[in-house]
Amino acid sequence: MIIDVQDLTKRYGGLLAVDKVNFAVEQGEIFGFLGPNGAGKTTCLEMMEGLRKPDGGQVLLKGISVWPNPGKVKNLIGVQLQSTSFYEELTVKEILVLFASLYNRRLSEGQLESLLSMAGLEEKRNAYTNTLSGGQKQRLAIITALVNEPEIIFLDEPTTGLDPQARRRSWEIIRELQGKGKTIILTTHYMEEAENLCARVAIIDQGKIVAIDQPQKLIEQLGKKAKISFASSRPLESVFLAQLGAEAGQVSSAEGQVLFASDPAQTIGVLLEKAKQEGIVIHNLHVSSPSLDDVFLGLTGKELRD
């Protein structure tokens, strides 16, 4: 285990932003932190990066404690913050040279070339950073995290706001880094990103890890149940929902009402019959298999994106 986080805790005044978080990450793993806005992902990462002091618990990176002396891990880690603004009057190449100098390093021509080529920014080396597209800026942010050849790379929402094509391009970079033996920990709001990239994900809500496993395993836990979604002419009362079958866990979402049922035919039968008795019209009834999005909804009662 190259990363070991124990009882990590952070308070902001009365708010418990990170509440006794525990997890470990293996060398060479891509590990994802998945959670809605305000869940505590950035706070957690920043404590691991030595940028934000925890109120409790500890972080070990390659056996070295990050606190109280974060300087000790500086050369071990690369960090891409959630929002990066670059000096607009500097070019792509100058930014990379500047970031390297923060680690007392001089980038060789070869290192510079390989970073630019990894990000697909060879043509942009002399472009001012304010002329880059959103996707190009995010990729520049990723490679600035690599100038010190870190073993552990932290990426805070590396693809938020990107179109699907640009997102895939960033995924390729992340996989390439994994191919080089790097350990990567990233945060995301995107389920498909977690499903595609991460060996394991931690689902975090209100500062707590509510589930941690391989994406496929998390889906399988729910997968024994079918997802039934529908809209109704009036909201269904909870008493009504309780009668639909013991297995039906009720949550409401943007799609309308969502139920998870192990015997969907039976649940739908009861649903339609009860609705008829109450004079409620049910429409847009769908039965599907759950996705990682649904795992999240089932665990937290919330959608990932708000």
Residues in contact with ligand ATP by the rule CB under 6 A:
12, 15, 17, 35, 37-43, 82
Taking the C-alpha atoms of residue 57 and residue 5, their distance in angstroms, rounded to an integer, is 8
Please, what is the minimum distance in Å from the beta carbon of residue 243 to ligand ATP?
A: 37
Given the DSSP bridges, would you call strands 3-12 and 56-61 parallel, antiparallel or unpaired? antiparallel
- 194 in Cβ contact with 162 (< 8 Å): no
Our CA dihedral for 206, 212, 215, 217, rounded to 10 degrees, sits at: -130
Q: Which does 148 bind (CB under 5 to 8 A by kind): ligand ATP, Mg ion, none?
A: none
CB closer to ligand ATP, 160 vs 291 = 160
Please, what is the minimum distance in Å from the beta carbon of residue 43 to ligand ATP?
A: 3
**Token pair belonging to 44:** 């957690």
Neighbour-count burial for 200-224, b at 16+ CB within 10 Å, e otherwise:
bbbbbbbbbbebbeebeebbeebbe
42 binds Mg ion (CB under 5 A): yes
Which 277-296 residues touch Mg ion, going by CB under 5 A?
Answer: none
Taking the C-alpha atoms of residue 59 and residue 9, their distance in angstroms, rounded to an integer, is 11
Size of the site for Mg ion (CB under 5 A): 3
Burial class of residue 272 (count of CB atoms within 10 Å of its CB; 0-12, 13-18, 19+): middle
H or E element in which residue 79 lies:
strand 77-80
CB closer to ligand ATP, 3 vs 96 = 3
CB closer to ligand ATP, 55 vs 122 = 55
Please, what is the minimum distance in Å from the beta carbon of residue 178 to ligand ATP?
A: 23
Q: Which does 295 bind (CB under 5 to 8 A by kind): ligand ATP, Mg ion, none?
A: none
Please, what is the minimum distance in Å from the beta carbon of residue 38 to ligand ATP?
A: 4
Q: What type of residue sits at position 302? A: K
DSSP single-letter state for residue 91: B
Q: Which does 12 bind (CB under 5 to 8 A by kind): Mg ion, ligand ATP, none?
A: ligand ATP
Q: Which does 40 bind (CB under 5 to 8 A by kind): ligand ATP, Mg ion, none?
A: ligand ATP
CB closer to Mg ion, 82 vs 91 = 82
Q: Which does 87 bind (CB under 5 to 8 A by kind): Mg ion, ligand ATP, none?
A: none
Q: Which does 231 bind (CB under 5 to 8 A by kind): ligand ATP, Mg ion, none?
A: none
Taking the C-alpha atoms of residue 97 and residue 112, their distance in angstroms, rounded to an integer, is 8
Please, what is the minimum distance in Å from the beta carbon of residue 190 to ligand ATP?
A: 11
**Which stretches of the chain bind Mg ion, using CB under 5 A?**
41-42, 82
